Amino acid sequence: MNLDSLAKIDLNLLVTLQILLEENSVTRAANRLNLSQSAISKSLNRLREILDDPLFQRTAHGLRPTAHALQLKEKLPQILQSLYQLTQPASFVMSQSQRHFSFATQETIYETSLPRFIGPLLSNAPNIRLHAYVWNEHSMQDLVQGQLDFAIAGRDIQPLSDVQISRLPEGIHHQTLFNDHQVCLVRKGHPILKVVEQGGWNLEQYLQLAHVQARCENRNWWSLDYFLAESGHNRQLSTIVPDFYSAISVCAHTDLIFTVPSKFAQQTKKLYPVVELPLPMEFCSFAYVLLWHQRDHEDPGHQWIRQVICDSIGEG
């Protein structure tokens, strides 16, 4: 390692480069760093000289990173996280810590899971700051790049999902919190309830109904749809909405049926006039898992938070 050469580099330039790689815009990077565009441009020019690479090309849609910049984008988050850890105390004192932690949570357990672990966290560490987001198709990459500290997400939501344990990116750890299964919801007074009372609830009846679906990870199909397709069946996805609470509202005020995880169904039955029905087929259960990156695996603060989450909602 050439420490003399490293000593000549302003490490703040690496922070600027990371923000530029995330935003692909000098203007947005300047806003995030609370600096002028001129200051960002000067930092970019210094980076170009040091790294002997243009790093970005201007296009009509913003900055486009060069091949070398894309290589740096893979390595830089972990390098910055390591530098950040060097500036932190060797131990984590709950009552004194003022650290910030960010996480994403699957919407289907958002309302039931957050109160169960946020309360214990803040009662023991009142000065920490928690930033919560809804899990989406970008959350896994945010976790890899260090923009999220941890996440709670469903495994096997659909076959192509990155949340599958077998498809987790390198460096991502996981801990299963609890298992769940799918059930059906219909409004009170739905015509299908008479069929159910007469013992006629089956797959054929289920497929004849029109369905409302919540888009998950920006995909219209869930694992259930792929499962049905393998046997030549398809649900009538009459209405597809962007989130689960929109879907349950549609379900409660129409004749559309909504298939959801049972934990979510338990919560929404308290809020909406809906009735729960069993899924009329054999279908595998799935798990909710706590996810974090290797770079935070040994960090005392992260370890404490993960333990509180597991204790609070594990097997919830």
- When pLDDT is cut at 50, 70 and 90, the band that residue 164 belongs to is low
The token duo for 248 is 């349950």
Q: How far apart are CA 43 and CA 37, in angstroms?
A: 10
Same structural domain, 141 and 260? no
CA triple 305-310-316, angle to 5 deg? 140
Same structural domain, 40 and 106? no
Specify the CATH number for the domain of residue 228. Answer: 3.40.190.10
Q: How many domains does the chain have?
A: 3
Same structural domain, 238 and 294? no
Across the range 108-120, mean pLDDT stands at 85
Tens digits of per-residue pLDDT, 20-69?
Answer: 999 999 999 999 999 999 999 999 999 999 999 999 999 888 899 999 99
Residue ending a domain, among 58, 86, 114, is 86
- 80: how many CB neighbours lie within 10 A of its CB? 18
Same structural domain, 293 and 275? no
Same structural domain, 113 and 149? yes
Same structural domain, 270 and 253? yes
Query: pLDDT value at position 162?
Result: 45
Percent of the chain with pLDDT strictly greater than 70: 92
Rg (CA), the chain: 24
Taking the CA of residue 75 as centre, how many other CA atoms within 13 Å lie in the half-sphere pointing to its CB?
Answer: 6
User: Does residue 156 carry a pLDDT above 70?
Assistant: no
- What is the β-pairing status of strands 257-261 and 210-214? parallel
Query: pLDDT value at position 166?
Result: 63
Whether 93 is covered by a domain: the verdict is no
Whether 94 is covered by a domain: the verdict is no
Query: pLDDT value at position 173?
Result: 92
Residue ending a domain, among 35, 52, 86, is 86
- When pLDDT is cut at 50, 70 and 90, the band that residue 203 belongs to is very high
Query: pLDDT value at position 161?
Result: 45
Tens digits of per-residue pLDDT, 269-312?
Answer: 999 999 999 999 988 888 889 999 998 998 899 999 999 999 98
Query: pLDDT value at position 62?
Result: 86
Percent of the chain with pLDDT strictly greater than 90: 58
User: Does residue 247 carry a pLDDT above 80?
Assistant: yes
Whether 278 is covered by a domain: the verdict is yes
Residue 311, φ and ψ in degrees, nearest 5: -70, -30
Domain that holds residue 138: 101-179+287-313
Residue ending a domain, among 59, 86, 113, is 86
Whether 39 is covered by a domain: the verdict is yes
Whether 60 is covered by a domain: the verdict is yes
Same structural domain, 164 and 307? yes
